Amino acid sequence: MKQAVREAFISKILLLTALSSIGALTLITVFIFAEGLPVIFKTGFFDFIFGMKWKPSRGIFSIFPMIAGSFAVMAGAMLVSVPFALCCSIYLAEFAGRTTRAIVKPAIELLAGIPSVVYGFIGVTVLVPFIKNNIGGNGFSVLGCSIVLGIMVLPTITSISYDALRAVPDSYREGALALGATRWQAVKMAVVPAAGSGIIAAVILGMGRAIGETMAVIMIAGNSLIIPLSPLDPVRTLTSNIALEMGYASGMHRQALFATGVILFVIIMALNILATRVIKRAVR
């Protein structure tokens, strides 16, 4: 009897902790939207998103250059990261021996543990000068951000794709080999397609991480308020806009930063929901 009461008590406590995380999410969401939406309505939804000018001193708030910046950097990061992550995960899941896997996999996962300011620091001290001296521009650029972000999201994409590949039953590999396929053919034609949704979900989650990253991006992006037209142009992303101006903003300006947050929030939520749906479809 006493046991049962204790069990019930424990499960209540656990439930409460679970609910509190939902509570936190709700609070944050409500807060951001409450603070941000008024500016969006005042400016007009369309103008806020697609307008070109961000002039806090004159009360003009449009964020298209930053949306473009965020997407440019994200796309660049994916170009760097996806091919690399796919090769890594396929190698680790399908070809690597036990020892290699035991060394390489934790090493890749360790990349996720490095604080982003360290990435930013290395980017500024090594990558930015390298781009400036060898490729052009002043080094603070979409290109620099893409490379650094690409490395930062590598562990996410690699480990989720790896799990998706490992989840493919051996019967697929056997079936392919028994038809006379080579190991590479078996992987390419039977295993990877079976893991397809999982791999796509991995890429989508990687996109979410790339778009949400702030510190490293601020340090390398140059932060100019322009739409980047070349990989060597500087950019400002949604995240860096908030982080750069939050310290001194007040009134309407502050609200406009929250509004930027609203857009960011929506983009990241959309990516996460998309990823979950892709995974669900795979399971079915």
Contact pattern from residue 184 through residue 203 relative to another protein, giving x for each residue in contact according to CB under 8 A and a dash for the rest: -x---xx--xx-x-------
Nearer to another protein, 180 or 251 (CB): 180
Indicate whether 175 belongs to the interface with another protein (CB under 8 A). yes
Q: Which of 20, 26, 182, 276 binds another protein (CB under 8 A)?
A: 182
Indicate whether 176 belongs to the interface with another protein (CB under 8 A). yes
Min separation Cβ 188 and another protein, Å: 10
Min separation Cβ 82 and another protein, Å: 21
Measured CA to CA, the distance from residue 149 to residue 76 in angstroms comes to 8
Min separation Cβ 173 and another protein, Å: 9
Q: How far is residue 113 CA from its own chain's centroid? A: 15
Piece of 126-134, 178-186, 211-219, 221-229 that binds another protein (CB under 8 A): 178-186
Measured CA to CA, the distance from residue 108 to residue 93 in angstroms comes to 13
46 DSSP assignment: H
- Quick count: other Cβ atoms within 10 Å of Cβ 39? 21
Q: Quick check: 165 and 127 in contact, CB under 8 A?
A: no
Size of the site for another protein (CB under 8 A): 18
Q: Binding to another protein (CB under 8 A): which residues in 108-167?
A: none
Min separation Cβ 195 and another protein, Å: 9
Q: Which of 32, 75, 181, 225 binds another protein (CB under 8 A)?
A: 181
Measured CA to CA, the distance from residue 122 to residue 31 in angstroms comes to 35
Min separation Cβ 160 and another protein, Å: 18
Which residues in 94-112 are b (16+ Cβ under 10 Å) and which e? bebeeeeeeeebeebeeee
Q: Is 21 left (phi over 0), alpha (psi -120 to 50) or beta?
A: alpha
Taking CA atoms, 92 is separated from 86, 159, 173, 206, 254, in Å, by 10, 10, 15, 19, 47
Helix axes 142-166, 98-111, angle to 10 degrees: 140
Min separation Cβ 181 and another protein, Å: 4
Indicate whether 259 belongs to the interface with another protein (CB under 8 A). no
Indicate whether 178 belongs to the interface with another protein (CB under 8 A). yes
Nearer to another protein, 26 or 100 (CB): 100
Alpha helices in 44-194 (DSSP H): 45-50, 64-90, 98-111, 116-122, 128-134, 142-166, 170-178, 183-186, 192-194
Indicate whether 7 belongs to the interface with another protein (CB under 8 A). no
Nearer to another protein, 97 or 106 (CB): 97
Piece of 38-46, 55-63, 71-79, 177-185 that binds another protein (CB under 8 A): 177-185
**Which residues form the interface with another protein (CB under 8 A)?**
169, 171-172, 174-182, 185, 189-190, 193-194, 196
